Amino acid sequence: MNKGNYTDAQLISSIKEGGSACDQAIAWIYRKHLDAVLSFIMARNGSREEAKDIFQDAVLSLLMSIQEGKFEGKSSLRTYLHAISKNLWYRRFRRSITADEYKASLNKDEIELGDPEYLLVDQDTEAQLQGLMDSLKDKCKEVLTMWAQKYSMKEIAEALGYSNEQVVRNKKNHCLKELKELVRKNPEVRNLIGELLK
Amino acid sequence: MAEQMFERIEAYLEGILPEDERLQFESELQTNPELKEEYFLQKDTRSLLKLGGQLAFKEKLKRIDQEIESEAKVVSFKKPLWRETWFQVAAVVLLLIGTGYLWMSNNYNKDQLIQQAFAEYNADPFTSRGNDDSPFAQAMQAYNSGNFEQASKSLQDILDESPDNIDAIHYLGISLYASGYSKEALPYLERSADSVKHGEAGRWIKILACFDVEGKDKCMHELSLLATEEGHPYQENAEKLYDRLNSVWGKMFAK
């Protein structure tokens, strides 16, 4: 990294690494590209809040695509983010354009994008999943949430005050078992996960 | 037994089972209904967590957005000093009535302004939750209490063991700078500025240290680049220092 002008390769590598390196990279990407997406959506009569919601989902989609190995850097991060934002905008708020315009926009930008709404969940689903997570004790929730975001065992130990990485590893396994039992007792949540991952 | 099965499935899902055990596991999945049921349940649980991670991540994005909004509010109230008519008139008068006096007083003012910029940066201490008693945590206790010389020593010890520890590199650079060893700090700040984790803050402190070591023009150039870099978290700090230093030196540097 130099002078704050990060290359796509550096950003992708940091996002793959997860944890605080990923946080830094995503914060940088967010600040760098927010204005362009806001301008695009607000110029099409979208509200500032709608535009931010779209952009946040686009950043999240980028994160998932990189961490899942679905984004290989054939297009630039900027191109990807803008195309995803545009597609999400047209999908959610396409009342403002004609069907032909919508179709043309998708055809134009979907090269190597895949499905931009991959794993993005609606608010009802979000509430159900959150409810199950909330059944866990706070410490378990914290450990598992950080682990799910690919923080290293060392980072989790430092952030949550555990004495070493092995303690975190044991705690993570203990908490994961608890969550597994919760999922076992809630078949509807399991069905929901199955639907989302289809 | 259940414990062993859990850990075996976990190792498989993490991709850390040796090849022969992985093949054995996959073979058993076809023939052992209990293992199969537990495997898919565990896989679904991890998928649920992945979704939970996404939700937590969206919250982070909202926090970043709030930071940007609050920074924008501060900027909107600010009019650069050099754009004020009274300031332009005053600067011309000052230049006319005593360039010599102005030059003599400049060094004191420059140092004061840079120290103030560092004090503003340093107002937010390094925070770490919990009761960590690692060498790094102890070094950061010294750092947070303003004992930068002790922090430098402890961080150097950590680097002797782990030369690529970017946290130690970053805070050693700052501690050396804060102790008055700007020249010694620069190599560490260079590495910090090149890192993902501390790149933004590392670059900012590196510029401050530059004024103690390098020529004015070079440092002002670096400062002006940061001052115009929209979206950088220290852009506003850089812009403020740039304007103030210009007013002290009585000369406009092209941005």
Residue contacts between A and B (CB atoms, under 8 Å):
146
Report yes or no: A37 and A85 within 8 Å, Cβ to Cβ. Answer: yes
- Window from B179-183, B197-201, B226-230 with minimum mean pLDDT: B179-183
B237 vs A contacts (CB less than 8 Å): none
Whether A159 contacts chain B with CB within 8 A:
yes
What is A44-69 written as a DSSP string? TT--HHHHHHHHHHHHHHHHHHHHTT
Report yes or no: A41 and A32 within 8 Å, Cβ to Cβ. Answer: no
Alpha-carbon distance of B222 to B228, in angstroms, equals: 10
Pick the residue with more confidence: B164 or A140?
A140
Q: How crowded is the C-beta side of B115, counted as CA atoms within 13 Å?
A: 8
pLDDT at A35: 87
**With an 8 Å Cβ cutoff, are A24 and B200 in contact?**
yes
pLDDT at B35: 94
Q: In a mutagenesis test of the A interface, which of B48, B68, B225 is the best target, namely the one with the most A β-carbons within 10 Å?
A: B48
Give the angle B149-B151-B154 at the CA atoms, nearest 5°.
110
Encode chain A (198 residues) as per-residue pLDDT tens digits. Answer: 344 568 888 999 999 888 888 888 999 999 889 988 888 888 877 888 889 989 998 999 899 888 888 887 778 888 888 888 888 887 776 555 555 555 555 444 444 444 444 455 666 777 778 888 888 998 999 999 889 888 889 989 998 999 999 999 999 999 999 999 999 998 888 888 777 766
pLDDT at B42: 93
Residue B106 has pLDDT above 90, yes or no: no
| pLDDT digits 0-9 by tens, B21-42 | 999 999 999 999 999 999 999 9
For the residues B173-200, what does the mean pLDDT come to? Answer: 86
% chain B with pLDDT above 70: 77
Amino acid residing at B57: F
**With an 8 Å Cβ cutoff, are A179 and B45 in contact?**
yes
Window 137-176 of B, Cβ < 8 Å to A: 137
pLDDT at A101: 55
B233 vs A contacts (CB less than 8 Å): 31
pLDDT at B103: 39
Alpha-carbon distance of B28 to B18, in angstroms, equals: 15
Residue with tokens 């150039």: B221
pLDDT at A105: 52
Residue B74: count other Cβ atoms within 10 Å of its Cβ. Answer: 9
- Name the DSSP class of B134: S
B48 vs A contacts (CB less than 8 Å): 129, 132-133, 179, 183, 189, 193
Residue B195 has pLDDT above 60, yes or no: yes
pLDDT at A172: 93
pLDDT at A187: 87
**With an 8 Å Cβ cutoff, are B6 and A34 in contact?**
no
User: What CA–CA distances, in Å, run from A24 to A35, B132, B167?
Assistant: 18, 23, 14
Q: Distance (Å) from the C-alpha of residue A67 to the closest C-alpha of chain B?
A: 11
Write down the pTM of the prediction: 0.51
pLDDT at A120: 57
